[in-house]
Amino acid sequence: MASLTVLAPVAGTVVATADIDDPVFSAGLVGPGTAVEPDDDGEVVAPIAGRIVKMHPHAFVVQHDGGQAVLVHLGIDTVQLGGEGFAVRVAEGDVVAAGDVLVSWDPAAVRDGGRSAVCPVVALEASPDVVTSLAEPGTRVERGAELLAWS
């Protein structure tokens, strides 16, 4: 499996996985990764090149040709919104390039509704020892900046 660089799907401030207000993500139960507390700009891009294998308004999975799959979750408990406030730009099965816009949303509206807008970025089913953070918690990243290295 080739090394893979995972990009920030949103611009914002990096948050440690342990600090995500959701036990599944904070404990790394679906895989290691990091998170980004997004700015209010609502464009969300593909963190890697690959095929969209799962697409919900609030979350998606992109699988690389090498088999690695990255989950991006837009906010916590946002499934409860039933897609309201999210505009999906791609469909399951679509092939995307890293940096392609996949979803538009309004993080401020999510926060105004009493939910966290933090965006976990998870290397699905990866061992923690093969995923390295390239951006320290508390630092700001631009959308498309290098976020994780998956070796």
As annotated, the active-site residues are 73
Beta strands in 39-107 (DSSP E): 43-45, 50-56, 59-63, 69-73, 86-88, 95-96, 101-105
| Helix then strand then coil, % of the chain, to nearest 5 | 15, 40, 50
Look at the alpha carbons of 55, 91, 68, 45 in this order and tell me if their dihedral is positive or negative.
negative
Nearest to 121 by CA among 108, 109, 135, 110: 135
